[in-house]
Amino acid sequence: MKINYFGEKISYEKLNEMIGLSSVKADIKEFISLAQLKAQSYIVDEDDYSALVHHNFDRTNDFSNGRWIRNLNERIIRKLALRLYEDENGDITKITKEDLTAVKL
């Protein structure tokens, strides 16, 4: 669908690009998803997590908001569980950079 923007018809995708809406969406997803992990008592480096969210969001065509966030966090937690299966002495609340790197798209 095209909209009239100052006399020029452009697509919603182009408008989002012009105003940086995709970046805002990634920031909102990052904030919500990080809050969800912290509410479950997980510890994660916020900068590494932010980089992962922005990286994966830029490479996805799934813009389902809550489901996208939930799926990402579940993949991270599964990687954490697999790592802890091999390392019984690991911290069950600490999400490492390796866990995050393992779920990069």
**CATH classification at residue 36:** 1.10.8.60
> What is the C-alpha to C-alpha distance for residues 60 and 103, in angstroms, rounded to an integer?
13
**DSSP character at residue 80:** H
Q: What pLDDT, on a 0 to 100 scale, did the predictor assign at position 9? A: 54
- Residue 75 maps to a domain: yes
- State the pLDDT confidence band at 59, using cuts at 50, 70 and 90: confident
And the tokens for 9? Answer: 């018809």
Structural domain range at position 37: 22-102
- Residue 1 maps to a domain: no
Task: Tell me the mean pLDDT in the region 67-81.
Answer: 91
For residue 18, is pLDDT > 70?
no
Q: What is the pTM of this model?
A: 0.71
And the tokens for 99? Answer: 């866990």
- Residue 56 maps to a domain: yes
- Residue 9 maps to a domain: no
Count of other CB atoms within 10 angstroms of residue 3: 11
For residue 37, is pLDDT > 80?
yes
Label residue 50 exposed, middle or buried (CB < 10 Å: 0-12, 13-18, 19+): middle
> What is the C-alpha to C-alpha distance for residues 20 and 71, in angstroms, rounded to an integer?
24
Q: Which residue has the higher pLDDT, 51 or 32?
A: 51
